Structure 1
Amino acid sequence: MSGTWGREEKPDVAALKILDGAAQAFVELGVSRAGMTEIARYAGCSRGTLYRYFKNRHELHLAFVNDRAVRLVAELRVELQEIHDPSRRLLEYIVRSVGKVRQNPSMAAWFEPSESGAAGRMSRGSEVIACLSEAFVVNLQPRDFDDSSSSRLQALWVVRIIVSLLTQPGKDEGEERALIETFVVPSLLERSNEVLSSLEH
């Protein structure tokens, strides 16, 4: 497949082709084993073309995580738009986020137990957390988190909870849902209400 396309592609189209190729490589090879050579092969381009868009694997990884996070949050926004109760909405948001990652092979690959090397560390690292949090804030801030000054911290905490469940799953979905509903949702909503109350006085 190498070298089947190159400069003739529009930059945004080319980048998406590469990320889609990377997704397939992550599923079939694993994140740690999918190097730039393998990703170029799966994307159907030369290594030279690949390096024009992503200077190294780390940069490609971050772009991939951001792209998938934006897609995931956009899906959730549509699915949850009819849920108006804040507690239920936040509960479903976290539970479905975890479920969607697990059901998507190219995203689930990042959290496989075998990914104990660089990819495994990266999936739990600050840069990936930041990418996910930014996607969540941009898409959900106005409705889900009431105060802009605290929304990033709240989103950061939600993402860390999601990553924790992906790396250390509960016994089953029912147990995870109960933990989130009992301990996570109340604390987040209470903090949001405290901020609003302080602003009103």
Structure 2
Amino acid sequence: MSAGWLAGERTELAAQRILDAAARLFADRGVADTQMADIAKAAGCSRATVYRYFENRQAVRLAFVHREARRIGAAVVTEVDGITDPGERIVTAVLTALRTVRADPLLIAWFRPADAGLAVEIGQTSQVIAALAAAFLPDSLAGERDRAQVARWLTRLIVSLLTVPGVDDADERAMLEHFVTPLFVRT
């Protein structure tokens, strides 16, 4: 490849171009089956260039997931803005996250049977995802440790519903209202 690949453009734009190429491959081939050489070819650069920005495949995966988690988090913030009832806020946040992921073929690919384990692993170890989930929790949860634990649990719940969906939106809402809402409503 030429030494001028993305010459004059900022480093961040180059990394985003690589992540965009990886996203298309994740959707087409599957997350587990996407190799660094595939990403380089799809991005129009050399493997060495990809490795300059990302240490390995896991780093590409993590960067992609974090980028998309921030985007989903922004959609959830918009959707829950003004909802003061803690139970409804959580139900709306979870349903918005589910709807946003399902609407994007580049994201839902992570929840195919062959790739769901990677999504679970990243979802449970990512501080970015835990922080985003914690942002929607009610202030009444005592302590940072409790918030972090509940955030990890909510992430696991969302991944579970993406991997094994309910019958329809109404079914998922009913399950969330029955099983999740009571955890956030103090009587």
Query: TM-score scaled to structure 2, two decimals?
Result: 0.87
Cα distance in 2 for residues equivalent to 1:12 and 1:167? 32
Checking the alignment, whether the CA contact within 8 Å between 2:18 and 2:39 is kept in structure 1 is yes
- Residues matched between the structures, number: 182
Cα 1:128/1:88, change in 2 over 3 Å: closer
Q: What does 1:1-201 align with in structure 2 at a 5 Å threshold?
A: 5-6=5-6, 8-113=8-113, 115=114, 119-125=115-121, 127-131=122-126, 132-137=129-134, 140=135, 144-146=138-140, 147-149=142-144, 150-187=146-183, 189-190=184-185
Gaps in structure 2 of 5+ consecutive residues = none
Relative to its length, the structure with more helix (as a share) is: 1
Q: Which moved more, 1:3-12 or 1:70-79?
A: 3-12
**What is the aligned-residue RMSD (CA, Å)?**
2.1
Cα distance in 2 for residues equivalent to 1:18 and 1:36? 10
Cα 1:19/1:82, change in 2 over 3 Å: same
Aligned-partner residue type, residue 175 of structure 1: D
Query: TM-score scaled to structure 1, two decimals?
Result: 0.81
Checking the alignment, whether the CA contact within 8 Å between 1:6 and 1:49 is kept in structure 2 is no
Cα distance in 1 for residues equivalent to 2:138 and 2:12? 30
Q: CA deviation at 1:130?
A: 2.8
Q: CA deviation at 1:164?
A: 0.8
SS in 2 for 1:144: coil
Identity of aligned residues (%): 36
